[in-house]
A and B are shown apart, each in its own frame.
Chain A
Amino acid sequence: MPVFEFTLIILVGSCFAGLLGSLTGLGGGFIIIPLLTVFLHVDIHYAIGASLVSIIATSSGSAAAYVKEGITNMRLGMFLEVATTLGAVTGAMVAVFFPTNLLAILLGVILITSALLTLRKKAVQVVHQKNALAVKLKLNGSYPGENGTIQYSVSRIGGGFVMMLFAGLLSGLLGIGSGALKVLAMDNIMRIPFKVSTTTSNFMIGVTGAASAVVYLQRGYIEPSISMPVVIGVLIGALVGSKILVKTKSSGWLRWVFVVVVIGLASQLIYNGLIGKI
């Protein structure tokens, strides 16, 4: 396929991925990698490299807005980034030893799991019990709620840290943001309010992505001609998505659309991986 058509198809697909990714809060990488590998027959390492670049762009772009609103817990983010970057570097280092079809199968399984995780009910939880380690690390915080400032405490820091190592590992290995896993760790293990965990997770994704991107960059896995339409497309889609999100509150059915799309694409990845076509 000539460069012009190839670039145009990726650009349109990435716009769509960025739009769905921002509306559901899952990020664009989920759709980009299967699109590139299954439909355009791009080597999975190039697809992972391009996806990494796009998650750094969307994470940094939206973090800029959230940080100003004061919801992001920057100390918590910085502390957990020790775990996610360690994991990411390890993941990027070992990725080269993985056969491409195994990467595809693993990615498929993770995509389906993460998509299903987003359907969970989000209970509003605020823990006030002070954890000694959280006090020492100054992790407890507050954020502007509807009826004034809401104070919260952070629990089970060790467990959260280990889960972040794992999230970072997957991010480095598969080029995804692992946002669903990061939020899960902060919600279910560390008992952090949902609003704080989603924005802080997004804040961390850029740094986690950068830690593994420096490895991919030197290996030549980040191909400029593929990454260019991906990053521009995803960013346009994410921008449009954030504008829509301000106007409409209910994205319930959209989540289902996303889950179905992701499961369809992920099954293709797993199938192609199993028969060794990727």
Chain B
Amino acid sequence: MQAVIGWVLRIGVIVSISVVFVGGVIYISRHGGAIPDYSKFNGVPNFVQLHGLINGIISLKGRSIIQAGIILLIATPILRIVFSTIGFVLEKDYLYIGISLLVLLIILISSISGHVG
């Protein structure tokens, strides 16, 4: 199980960073000379919503592709918990199946309630 978790983490990082890199190359080649202002919060961009993100990726927008890579990266440790849970199921360790599911639940609630504020 430890080997599987090691692989999940490694592949997750490699895949997501590759996507971020591709998006970054596209973004810079298109907007390399633009002058952005990040000194104040610019509001929620439209690729935060799923349909906005998908539209952005289809039209090969650099920032949307980077965003997709970042989402994959954030999903990597969460996927690690899913695999740990499977490991505990195989070991029939009910206490730790419960603890792993509790951690997943906390992250799930966090991702649902993120829109507040």
A contact residues vs B (CB 8 Å cutoff): 1-4, 6-7, 40-43, 45-46, 53, 56-57, 59-61, 63-65, 67-68, 70, 74-75, 78-79, 81-82, 85-86, 88-89, 92-93, 96-97, 137-138, 206-207, 209-215, 217-229, 231-232, 235
Contacts and interface: CB of A to CB of B under 8 A. Distances in A.
B110 A212 contact: yes
21 contacts: A2-B34, A7-B24, A53-B73, A57-B17, A59-B77, A61-B10, A67-B9, A85-B107, A86-B106, A89-B107, A97-B117, A210-B76, A211-B110, A213-B74, A214-B111, A219-B114, A224-B70, A227-B20, A228-B27, A232-B24, A235-B13
Q: Is the interface of B mostly helix, strand, loop or mixed?
A: helix
Contacts, number: 198
B103 interface: yes
Given A43-B39, A211-B110, A217 B48 contact: yes
B73 to A, nearest CB: 6
B38 A223 contact: yes
Contacts of B24: 7, 228-229, 232
Given A64-B13, A210-B74, A212-B110, 11 more contacts: A3-B27, A3-B33, A56-B73, A57-B13, A61-B9, A67-B2, A74-B5, A209-B77, A228-B27, A231-B17, A231-B20
A164 B57 CA distance: 38
Interface string B23-53: 1100110011111101111111101100000
